[in-house]
A and B are shown apart, each in its own frame.
Chain A
Amino acid sequence: MIKQVKGMTGNEAVAWAAKLVNPDVIAAYPITPQTIIVERYSEFVNNGEVDTSFIPVESEHSAMSSCVGASLTGARVFTASASAGLALMYEILYVASGLRCPIVLAVANRAFSAPINIHGECTDQLVCRDASWVSLFGESAQEAYDETIMSFKIAEHPDVLLPTMFGIEGFIVTHALERVEILSKSEVDSFLPERDVDLKFCPDETNTFGSLVLQDYYMEIKRQQEEAMTNAYRVTKEVMEEFTELTGRTMEILEKYKLDDADYAIVSYGATAGNAKAVVDRLRAKGEKVGALKIRLFRPFPSLDIYKALKGIKAVTILDRSVTFGSPGTIVQNDLASALYGRENIPTLHGYINGLGGRVLTLPEIEEVYEMSKHYNEINMSSTTDWVGYRK
């Protein structure tokens, strides 16, 4: 296979991948650091290079609302947002999943206000964990490109029919120019056939969508969403396998790096995973038996896969570029703890809140954090949470 390669930023990668998908509707509102996605796409629309109806709405709330209206007609629908914009969509995120709209949302992960800050942080996406959206993170422009295309296939699968969001960190990935292996229109068309829709809002069918559902049926409908989420685990794996075959690039829900013989592990997601792997190499050179685990699929949380990957490890360092206040651990640490609790041969868990508002956690700092985790493990502390990389 001859690989076509192009230099692209993360945002451009999303826009170019979306162009190959050619969604029926994109409804979006600008917010830094997502803007380039919709700017590029607007050029495709206004130059007649795609068939998409681009709806330049007056807010993110209306963006997600228009996406729901569009998706229920049977259309393929895409949008992009970040931070405050995602928070403004939050109400309708639940409508989108409750009405089983397979909308795809690219998140240019950015810190929340206040204080206002435009830089990378993943809290915005992580706090959407309960909204019944499939949730993925990408490390690079390449993964941004790949996850754009895969997300439609996961979301629209008849066993799933749940909206899907994928995140790339603001500026760190969205604005960094990287090497991206691209696909052809025909490759994407064969990978992603047209949506097959059973029930739709259309002139020829008298369907009612968005009923009032009270105590007598509400819980059954919510339970169906949970079953769809369970299916999304299997479907995401299948879609990633198919994508691996298509591209020759291994794409999995978890990425394991030098974990096989490791005594210690660094768990991360998104752009941090690149630094984690670099630190693993530095530590390995010093004789440390350490590996890295990158979580690509955050919801549904792949508990058993994570257990299998971390079984037998002594201590895990969790680098979490997000913040939760008054919590027993970092957001991802809490999920890891739930996933591992009660199983055999589990590691001690050491969560580190870092990198907020675009703060850089350097490789030497990660090494320090790693040593802290080892120390905690040696003094038999099974779970610790610290803030790192800030002025004390």
Chain B
Amino acid sequence: MLELPRISVKDLQEWSKLSDVLTSGHRLCAGCGAGTMARQVTIAAKALEDPLMIVNATGCLEVASTIYPYTAWNVPWMHNAFENAAATAAGAIEAMNAMNRKKDESARKVNMLVFGGDGGTYDIGIQSLSGAVERGHRFLYVCYNNGAYMNTGIQRSGGTPMAAATTTSPAGKVIPGKIKWAKPLAEIMAAHEIPTYTASPAYPRDLMAKVQSGLKHDGPTFLLVDSPCSLGQRFPPSISIETTELAVKSCFFPLYATSKDEWLLTGESARIAKNPVRKVPVEDYLKLQGRFRHLFKPEWKKKLVEIQDTIDDRWERLLRKAEY
């Protein structure tokens, strides 16, 4: 059975007194969802008993937080390369297990977090992740999906949504941005029969509950976070959280937890399931972002309809899986 801890406002008040894991002074952009997401994830992890360790794939979060000789990380932190964060974490975990075994110390538990962006997870790192999950190393892999290779300059990735304009899927005269939908990454990871979660930094308590649930599991778990990016998705930094909130409210990015055949809608998505009038049109989400601006020209009107239809269809299928 999937169990998510209930996180109260009082818990948040207590945890706000914990020392920072990701400290100020990092060089993420103003309004960057990765920073907000990482702080929420690490606060939830730090609130747990066992020590926290982090492996980070190459990407915005990595480059902006560890410009030598500085580091923004107040926990053991390691970066190896772009496509291998899961394999790297696997090596570290099994090494610590072996050394504990040699010293006859019963395996000391650590909470191993792995951070990767959509490029490092949907695309180049999926083999490493799938392999590590199949072998069953104990970690929570957090993919913060900002919908493109933002660190290298907004190139399309397997996590880029349909019709989004990126520098390698521009809004052209004949092709309006990215041609296909993003890979269903959460479903792919759920198919490995591991607890899998989606979360948004617009709903911190929901996100933190999933982090704690994932880290408490004795085996690999996966969390997909919708991570707003003002630079790449093209909106003012002041509306980052509003943007990802609308991704959830429009069912563009539903919040759920799943394990094997159990699908549990959470937070705002559970509320929408019970009360469908809460669901907002996907246009409300799209119109805030420059990457979808071209869709509001008359010639691409039918693309907007196609996106809404697909979102509705996916939401209906998710409702059926979650037995609504």
Contact = CB atoms under 8 A, between A and B. Distances in A.
Interface of A: 24-25, 27, 51-53, 55-59, 61-63, 65-75, 77, 91-92, 95, 99, 201-214, 217
A208 B128 contact: no
Given A65-B87, A66-B88, A69-B87, A25 B80 contact: no
Interface stretch (B89-97, B153-161, B277-285, B297-305): B89-97
A42 to B, nearest CB: 14
13 contacts: A55-B91, A55-B135, A58-B130, A59-B131, A65-B128, A69-B88, A71-B95, A208-B77, A210-B66, A210-B80, A212-B63, A212-B66, A217-B68
A70 B95 contact: yes
A203 B53 contact: yes
Contact of A210 (B79, B83, B98): B79
B76 A205 contact: yes
Nearest to B50: A203
A65 B91 contact: yes
B188 interface: no
Nearest to B62: A212
Given A69-B95, A211-B79, A58 B69 contact: no
B84 interface: yes
Interface in B40-84: 51, 53, 55-56, 62-63, 66-69, 71, 73-81, 83-84
B191 interface: no
Contacts of B80: 65, 68-69, 92, 95, 99, 210
Contacts of B73: 206, 208
B222 to A, nearest CB: 16
Contact of B76 (A56, A202, A212): A202
A137 B68 CA distance: 37
Given A65-B84, A95-B80, A25 B95 contact: yes
Interface of B: 51, 53, 55-56, 62-63, 66-69, 71, 73-81, 83-84, 87-99, 101-102, 108, 110, 127-128, 130-132, 134-135
A77 B66 contact: no
B81 A212 contact: no
Contact of B90 (A55, A99, A217): A55
B131 A203 contact: no
A208 B56 CA distance: 11
A24 B98 contact: yes
A61 B128 contact: yes
Given A25-B98, A68-B88, A209-B78, A217 B131 contact: no
Given A25-B91, A203-B110, A62 B131 contact: yes
A57 B129 CA distance: 11
Contacts of B128: 58-59, 61-62, 65
A53 B95 contact: yes
Q: Report, nearest first, the 5 A-B pairs whose CB atoms are least far apart.
A: A69-B91, A58-B131, A66-B91, A210-B79, A65-B84
Contact of B99 (A63, A67, A75): A75
A212 B96 contact: no
Given A62-B128, A211-B66, A69 B92 contact: yes
User: Which of B51, B78, B79 has the most CB atoms of chain A within a 10 A radius of its CB?
Assistant: B78
B98 A209 contact: no
A212 B68 contact: yes
Contact of B95 (A77, A95, A203): A77
A360 to B, nearest CB: 38
B90 A66 contact: yes
A203 B91 contact: no
Nearest to B137: A55
Given A72-B78, A206-B76, A62 B84 contact: yes
A201 B132 CA distance: 19
Contacts of B102: 24, 51
B95 A75 contact: yes
B67 to A, nearest CB: 5
